[in-house]
Amino acid sequence: MYDVLKPNGHLLFSTEHPIVSCDVKERRWIAVGDNPHDHYAIDNYNIGGLRESTWFVSGVRRYHRSMTTWSFQHSGIRSLEFT
């Protein structure tokens, strides 16, 4: 990536937040007692890799990566801003 950017160039990319893709069971919210939205499922957050999910259709393949993985620490890119 660093080799193809012009000097002082910018790389802009978009991705879903890793908290959305981390749970391998696609549970999203964990129910406790009468509360169907007690807490968000973040199981397997630090385990990257292929996840299959439903997004308008079933069988959508995507890859989960943690925020640390997205840090580009070995890419030669000087700074990275998350917004």
pLDDT tens figures, 19-60: 888 888 877 888 999 999 998 888 888 898 999 988 899 999
CB atoms within 10 A of CB 72: 14
Rounded CA-CA distance 65/17 in Å is 9
Q: What is the pTM of this model?
A: 0.63
Rounded CA-CA distance 36/17 in Å is 22
pLDDT of residue 66: 86
pLDDT of residue 22: 86
pLDDT at 75 over 80: no
